[in-house]
Chain A
Amino acid sequence: MDDKARKLAGIKQKEKTPMPEQKAKIRAHNFKEVPYGYTAEMAIEEAWRCTQCKNQPCVAGCPVEIDIPGFIAAIQQGDFREGINVIKRTNALPAVCGRVCPQEEQCEKFCIRGIKGEPVAIGRLERFAADWEAEQGEADLPEIAPSNGKKVAVIGAGPGGMTCGGDLVAMGYDVTVFEAFHDSGGVLLYGIPEVRLPKDIVSRKTDYLARMGVKFEYNMVVGNVLTIEEMREQGFEAFFVATGAGLPWFMNLKGEGLNGVYSANEFLTRANLMKAYDPKNYDTPTWVGSKTAVVGGGNVAMDSARTAMRLGSEHVYIVYRRALEQMPARNEEIHHAQEEGIEFLLLQNPLEILDDGEGWVSGMRCIRMELGEPDASGRRRPVPIEGSEFVLEVDGVVIAIGNGANPLFIDATPGLKVNKWGNILADDKGRTSLKGVFAGGDIVIGAATVIEAMGAGKIAARAIDEYLSGKAGDWSPELGE
């Protein structure tokens, strides 16, 4: 087929080129990644569905403004090297974003092909390009400016911190990333499970950054072991705080302290970071019941439910107080969870977790909800239906309703202003109330997305460069609130 024929075929094809994946019945019992990814042929076929619009609406939907038509054009021609290079100009973690971005809310939402059919599978193509590069052996390093000798500290090795560190090291800064855990990745490591994001991808990224010259120091709970002041004394001139949103919320339900009740963070950390799914080789224990209720409707809830199923729970329920359309989780995750046999109990809300008399869960008392008037966010608010209470028989519960700001670092950093929820206040450049201290990602905006955290890391890297090279003038943010 020549290009013309390919183009025609692409225009005719209304739907995305399907991505091969593990069969639901099989994958629900293993921890391997679910979708296999496109082959080169599939990627080229899908790439030709892109009509290379002049005004590129998709680009505006991507928080890091990847030149989407540009990289897709290269894939059309089979020039995968050029494709990945275009992506990497603005996105340091394409293998991750291609897999976990909520594309339907971002780039793909604006794709004109989505008007009459499905949008171009931008995420899958991005993933393809990144995986192709990984198969070619060690990735080429970007150009790195000569060292300017200035020391910058990044606090937290999640996607925000890793992105900022990489950008700064490329500009010639001497960057050290301080991480509380014993490995880097943040939520990519301890939250999002292997079935969605293989941990090798995260390690590969760490190695790549290390080869670029980023130094990683683990076990460094900043605030306790070192404070910002002490780091200034050690010669660090600027700081990027990307400590994430790690303080699980509970619902203050009666029975939340029972055995068998987890926060999603605990459940996923035990399984992912501490590898509790492999008890033959790892010591950290975990426990699942035969019937598990996961409370919540976001990605975190889907991840918990799918992990519970893989750990051997026979029935797994998602208990969500609104309707399916209102679920914040990515469409693909909802779809995968449904295929794997997870049961969705919509418009239902827990009231109490019941004790079996020996300190373990024996059930969850719930109430049915209906959608009332829209609230401030424009979503119709769920209201309980009187007299509709019932008991859901479960022996395990995972609370996945979100995370607040972790106070550890903030409490140890006097003068750092926060809002009423404890999130750090920062202006549009990431500048906080403390001179030289920038912040971004979940710790600033509350629970968000990987790509938003990365975007914040990029903006902060540019702002730190301006600040340290004297281009920014004096520090101004007061951030009175």
Chain B
Amino acid sequence: MRRIPVTHNSGGLSLFKIVKKVVLRHDIKQMDILAPLVARKIKPGQFIMFRVDESGERIPLTMVDHDPEKGTVRIIFQEVGKSTRQLGDMNEGDSVLDFIGPLGKYHKMTGGKHGRIIGVGGGIGIAPLLPKVREFQADGDEIISIIGARSKDLLILEDEMKAASSELNICTDDGSYGHKGFVTEILKQKLDESTNYDFVLAIGPPIMMKVVRDLVKPYGVPCYVSLNTIMVDGTGMCGSCRVSVGGKVKFACIDGPEMRGEEIDFAEMMSRQTRYVAEEKTSMERYLAKEGK
């Protein structure tokens, strides 16, 4: 947080050091970043924004774990483009220039009333699901988790999810591990057996969240999702992250990212995710060329 004042826009003086890096899968990395003020406050479902250096973009990532004593925040991210790739290329001991948080609303979904919950996580979405599931567990809720990935080698956090859930179901698209097929197939089985759940929480790619939402709706069980729209400031200032919810404009960064899913216009949201595909590609190519990769 603290920067020597007169050097306000020169880089390199930040506290935000990468104290631990673990490569979970070739393109999925976990980092513990030293950011004591963020670590003290951040709660499950909230996110941070980082900026690697002066020319970097502000990129949102969800908190996966935090240690207020050590002052660290854990993030897990998939390298999908320039900024996540650049972060992924950094090592223990390196620092990022900015690390802003906590951002987003903290949403205490159950309030410790010993509920029954289904958590659905897809791909990299399993990472933000984990702290939520842990919180439900600590509250004494019964939590059935359903996680999925394209194939076995892309599945992350299986052990952690298992420890935090009352029951863990695994799916892979190609059947290389667990149930062959989509998370929604298991979800449907569960809901057909019983609709006695307080809510379903789904975090993953927008298309997965949409399909889950559509599936859950007729059962009358509330459905929450966590939105990952394109952001600039993360503080409600720009409207880049807006989504239409029941015909009204909502900002994912301050009204969410967690929101009731029933009325979200996912088609619009998914279309908006593709806004900068061409520019993102250029940025990536430039980075790879510069790094000689």
List residues of chain A with CB under 8 Å of any chain B CB: 180-184, 190, 203, 206-207, 210-211, 214-221, 224-226, 246-248, 250, 252, 256-259, 262-263, 265-266, 269-270, 274-275, 279-287, 358-359, 406-408
Contact = CB atoms under 8 A, between A and B. Distances in A.
A182 B50 CA distance: 11
Contacts of A258: 268, 271
A252 B3 contact: no
B3 A224 contact: no
Nearest to B248: A252
Contacts of B254: 406-408
B207 to A, nearest CB: 15
Given A285-B280, A408-B236, A219 B275 contact: no
Nearest to B230: A285
27 contacts: A180-B100, A180-B233, A203-B9, A207-B8, A210-B5, A211-B6, A216-B5, A217-B2, A218-B8, A219-B1, A220-B1, A224-B102, A250-B239, A258-B271, A259-B272, A259-B275, A269-B232, A275-B55, A279-B282, A282-B57, A283-B55, A283-B57, A284-B57, A284-B58, A359-B272, A406-B236, A406-B254
A338 B224 CA distance: 49
A219 B8 contact: no
A270 B232 contact: yes
A265 B238 contact: yes
Contacts of A274: 57-58, 232
B283 A283 contact: yes
Contact of B8 (A210, A220, A224, A285): A210
Contacts of A214: 5
Nearest to A178: B1
Contacts of B97: 182
Interface of B: 1-3, 5-6, 8-9, 37-38, 41, 51, 55-58, 82-83, 97-103, 232-233, 235-240, 242-244, 248-249, 254, 265, 268, 271-272, 274-276, 279-280, 282-283, 286
Given A224-B102, A283-B56, A284-B57, A266 B6 contact: no
A284 B98 CA distance: 15
Given A248-B239, A257-B265, A259-B274, 16 more contacts: A182-B100, A207-B8, A210-B8, A224-B101, A246-B237, A250-B242, A252-B248, A257-B268, A263-B238, A265-B237, A265-B238, A266-B232, A269-B232, A270-B232, A407-B236, A408-B236
Contacts of B272: 257, 259, 359
Interface secondary structure of A, over-half rule: loop
B185 to A, nearest CB: 29
Contacts of B265: 257
Nearest to A199: B9
Contacts of B37: 225-226
B100 A281 contact: no
Given A256-B249, A408-B235, A219 B99 contact: yes
A210 B7 CA distance: 9
Contacts of B57: 274, 282-285
A214 to B, nearest CB: 7
Nearest to A268: B238
A221 B271 CA distance: 30
A266 B275 CA distance: 14
Contacts of A218: 1, 3, 8, 98
Contacts of B1: 217-220, 225
Contacts of B283: 279, 283, 285
